[in-house]
Amino acid sequence: MMTLTGGCLCGAVRYEIDYEGERGSTCHCAMCRRQSGGAFMGFVTVPRGHLRLTGELKTYRSSEIGLRSFCPNCGTPITMDYSFEDDRTGVVTGSLDDPEAVPPSLHWGAESMLSWLKLEDGLPRMTTDEDPEFVEALRRLGERDR
């Protein structure tokens, strides 16, 4: 196990992660693009108990299953949590002090990749419909709304 560190642009929020080799990924969905202001957003998903924060975060519910946190001072995105993953949190790779430590191993939300983005990195691409956890969470949400 190693410790990864990171934080926001202004320094008001800092964190440490007990990192055990979890894989990184990129998300190409429209919400991640909007929050990042870029073509995609990178994450490393770790057990929630492995993340230690200093400073206060503000949260925004971007969907019925997604909760995003960010620094209330500078706006740096820090985490993304799905309501169906109670024990895990996605930490934004770009907020790591050393983002090279967690390269992506998967492009998620591939159906939303921008046509002008040319990534020839050989990484697998998964659409949201191919992710069984995500599909099941949406199914349960739909049943709840009936």
pLDDT by residue (tens digit) across 37-73?
Answer: 999 999 999 999 999 999 999 999 998 888 999 999 9
pLDDT value, residue 144: 59
pLDDT value, residue 146: 40
HSE at residue 56, side-chain half, CA atoms within 13 A, is 3
pLDDT value, residue 18: 97
pLDDT value, residue 143: 66
For 1-42, write each residue's pLDDT tens digit: 899 999 999 999 999 999 999 999 999 999 999 999 999 999
Beta carbons within 10 angstroms of residue 60's beta carbon: 11
Domain extent at residue 95? 2-144
Number of domains in the chain: 1
For 80-116, write each residue's pLDDT tens digit: 998 877 799 999 999 999 999 999 999 999 999 999 9
Instruction: Quote the tokens at residue 121.
Output: 């990195």
CATH of the domain at 137: 3.90.1590.10
